[in-house]
Amino acid sequence: MTQYQRKRLSKGEYVDGILSGNRVVLSKAITLIESSATPDILLGEEILNTILPNTGGSKRIGITGVPGVGKSTFIETFGGLLTGSGHNLAVLTVDPSSQRTGGSILGDKTRMESLSNDLNAYIRPSPTGDSLGGVANKTRETLLLCEAAGFDIILIETVGVGQSETAVKGMVDFFLLLLLAGAGDELQGIKKGIMEMADAIVINKADGDNIQASKKAKIEFENALHLFPLSSSGWSPKVNLCSSVKNTGLEKVWSMILEYFNSVGEDWLKLQRQNQNVSWMKESISHLLKTGFYASPKVLKHLNSMEENVKVGQITPFSAARKLVDLG
């Protein structure tokens, strides 16, 4: 028996611990669902299905922006504002790049120093994984565990790399894009698709010499957002200014987020979550099929020779794929 197996709790212990808000048990449960060992996956699944009725009670907020825009400083200050007004806050990260360093526990702790010492906040570093899909799945499950543990606001940060914004957009109620006022060409460096996903843009570092440029950028972003089609929620994305270092503008950001929740209404939010869950199921189907395919001994036996046949033009890639899939 490995050390890890000995440390595993019973299903009841996990469930009771999570539902009573015990953070040690919550952390253990998250570690369990992050494991790729089959017994852990099965137990994790049972725990998630049991706590499912106790989930759904949080405001799920995604935050994105390129490295250096001030995400962790923003979350530190904004998070303090939320916990200071009585909220229980969980901060999760989707960072597909953390697989390279094997996690970022120390990084996240030092990045958000006061929040990590805040009794009303819980910071969970990004899981490691071999694909964005895997990392995102673990984050979705972690979100459910945190909700069952009683957190009423969940911030999910993404590092603004690759497709991680789309993954986070697919698991939150509200998606916030942090930007900076640039040197007159603010719109140049930002992918249009990300702006289109945003429910709000917040221009950070609106302090000191940067205030005027930030005000100008606000107008430009507002104009740019007007060009996008209106969301089915009826909400038109807003642009705000803030300074995470000087702690200005953050209360306004929070009241804007609350305005969003009021404005779109519970029915629409429920529908959005239903659609997100169906997408999650479909993604999981693809993931499971792919994993099962590559684990099949028959496929493994023929994969290399089929690759060679494709290389020398003996068979079309499509036919080769179909033959292999038929084997699996």
Residues forming contacts to ligand GDP in the complex (CB under 6 A) are 65, 67-73, 204-205, 207, 243-245
In whole angstroms, the minimum distance from the beta carbon of 122 to ligand GDP comes to 18
In whole angstroms, the minimum distance from the beta carbon of 35 to ligand GDP comes to 28
In whole angstroms, the minimum distance from the beta carbon of 116 to ligand GDP comes to 14
In whole angstroms, the minimum distance from the beta carbon of 243 to ligand GDP comes to 4
Q: How many helices (H) and strands (E) does the chain have?
A: 14, 7
Kindly tell me which of 69 and 121 has the beta carbon lying closer to ligand GDP. 69
In whole angstroms, the minimum distance from the beta carbon of 160 to ligand GDP comes to 8
Closest by Cα among 191, 190, 194, 156 to 173: 156
In whole angstroms, the minimum distance from the beta carbon of 162 to ligand GDP comes to 16
Kindly tell me which of 98 and 244 has the beta carbon lying closer to ligand GDP. 244
Q: How many of the other CB atoms lie within 10 Å of CB of 16?
A: 13
Kindly tell me which of 40 and 207 has the beta carbon lying closer to ligand GDP. 207
In whole angstroms, the minimum distance from the beta carbon of 77 to ligand GDP comes to 8
Residues 6+ apart with CB under 8 A from 222: 239
b (16+ CB within 10 A) / e for 40-67:
beebbeebbebbeebeeebbbbbbbbbe
80, 91 in Cβ contact below 8 A?
no
Residues 6+ apart with CB under 8 A from 287: 133, 134, 137
Kindly tell me which of 22 and 73 has the beta carbon lying closer to ligand GDP. 73
Kindly tell me which of 56 and 67 has the beta carbon lying closer to ligand GDP. 67
Say which residue the tokens 């490995």 belong to.
2
Kindly tell me which of 75 and 172 has the beta carbon lying closer to ligand GDP. 75
Give the CB-nearest residue to ligand GDP: 70
> Which phi and psi (to 5°) does residue 110 adopt?
-80, -25
Sheet (strand 89-94) strand order: 121-124, 89-94, 153-158, 59-64, 174-180, 200-204, 238-241
In whole angstroms, the minimum distance from the beta carbon of 54 to ligand GDP comes to 32
Torsion of CA 123, 124, 126, 127, to 10 degrees: 180
Q: How many of the other CB atoms lie within 10 Å of CB of 137?
A: 21
What span, in angstroms and rounded, lies between the C-alpha atoms of 230 and 163? 23
Say which residue the tokens 């909400």 belong to.
235
Say which residue the tokens 């003996």 belong to.
314
167, 136 in Cβ contact below 8 A?
yes
Kindly tell me which of 112 and 324 has the beta carbon lying closer to ligand GDP. 112
Kindly tell me which of 237 and 249 has the beta carbon lying closer to ligand GDP. 249
Kindly tell me which of 73 and 309 has the beta carbon lying closer to ligand GDP. 73
In whole angstroms, the minimum distance from the beta carbon of 203 to ligand GDP comes to 10
